[in-house]
Amino acid sequence: MPHHLGDSRLAVGGSAPPPPPLFLLLLPLLPSPAKQPYTLLNFKRPPVITTQPESVTVFSVEDLVMSCEASGNPPPIFRWTKAGEEVSNGI
């Protein structure tokens, strides 16, 4: 049975690889009384789909993992559907 892995992946009948690591932008600052020598910049940007899921027709499933990649800030939330119904975790 397909199940949403809680991120950009949908697994059917098998396990999927772990999600990619997250990256932060750290910039050094000039000497200051601050306790940390860097600042974290949090840029807002709209979601962009960088990898579309491929269309798949399956008659018999053993292992199938479909994936989609997107970027944005805040990070996009993925929702998978089958026949118009959302596929939830644990299905």
**Domain residue spans of the chain:** 1-19+45-91
pLDDT of residue 61: 66
- For residue 53, give the nearest of 89, 91, 4, 13 by alpha carbon: 4
Distance CA 58, CA 64 (A): 9
Q: Is the pLDDT of residue 2 over 60?
A: no
pLDDT of residue 80: 82
**pTM of the complete model:** 0.43
Please, is 35 exposed, middle or buried when counting C-beta atoms within 10 Å of its C-beta (0-12, 13-18, 19+)? exposed
Q: Express each pLDDT in 30-81 by its tens digit.
A: 555 556 666 666 678 888 888 887 877 777 766 777 788 888 888 888 888 8
pLDDT of residue 11: 61
